[in-house]
Chain A
Amino acid sequence: MVDTPAGAARPTAAPPHSPPLSPHLQIWRFTPTMAASITQRATGVANFTGTALLAIWAFAAARGEAWFAPVAGFLASPIGQLIILGYIWSLVFHGLGGLRYLYTDTGRGLEPETATKAAIAVYVGSIVVTLFIAGAALAARAS
């Protein structure tokens, strides 16, 4: 602020008394914990959207075949299957990541080495569990 001439426009239009915003995502140095934190938020938003899909699915099931057939058809298409797989992974990641946060809320597991390992474990675990669920779904359909 020292070299800003008096009366010059502020770089951002922050209203007075507003809390500081977060820096842009690109500003952070990459670490597994930082990636897991961003992914936790991204999967949270995805889960909210997935919940909207559940509402649409339930609505279609209540209306009847004329509504249900296109919804089921879309979900059975390659794009629909990818969305379902992504939704499963998103739920699993957010759930495992959430358990990590519930644990660190207690003040434990905050040493950088432990936190990094836990963040990586959430990624690996989410992929393993997702593949397991997808495999179980395929097996249930085949039988």
Chain B
Amino acid sequence: MSERPTSTFAAQRASAFVLIPIALWFLWSLAAHAGEDIEGARAWLGQLHNKLLFGLFVTVGVFHGRIGLHEIIQDYFYGGMAKTLDTIAIVAAALIALITWISLFQI
């Protein structure tokens, strides 16, 4: 699973627990706001609680996703290739979270 199996297992489960209610909020929001124009999107993201929940969904999501991607990489790749793919996953996760938070607070 990982070089630190117990803490990785715990982090994966803990982030899963956190994501369940936020994902419910996200799916409910998606159903309520799908297809809105930029004014609608900005009005929605302009509300602080939506901003925070959206940012948390993305951030905890990529944190949780990084653990899963690492697990998959470890199952199918060796040494150098595994390290490269892990690095790509970490950079992608960080970029996704960073772009999201910067964008949210520009709205």
Contacts and interface: CB of A to CB of B under 8 A. Distances in A.
Interface of A: 13-15, 18-19, 21-22, 41, 44-45, 47-48, 51-52, 54-59, 61-65, 68-69, 72, 76, 84, 88, 91-92, 95, 98-99, 102, 105, 133-134, 136-137, 140-141
* Chain B: interface size category: 35 or more
Given A51-B61, A52-B96, A62 B106 contact: yes
Contacts of A141: 34-35
Contacts of B62: 48, 51
Interface in B58-103: 58, 61-62, 65, 68-69, 72, 74-79, 92-93, 95-97, 99-100, 102-103
Nearest to A40: B68
A95 B76 CA distance: 24
B45 A58 contact: yes
B48 interface: no
A27 B37 CA distance: 48
Given A55-B99, A141-B35, A45 B30 contact: no
Interface of B: 13, 16-17, 19-20, 23, 26-27, 30-35, 37-38, 41-42, 45, 54, 57-58, 61-62, 65, 68-69, 72, 74-79, 92-93, 95-97, 99-100, 102-104, 106-107
B38 A61 contact: yes
Contacts of B103: 55, 58-59, 61-63
A82 to B, nearest CB: 14
4 closest A-B pairs (Cβ-Cβ)? A48-B65, A62-B103, A136-B31, A62-B106
Given A41-B72, A105-B13, A59 B99 contact: yes
A47 B65 contact: yes
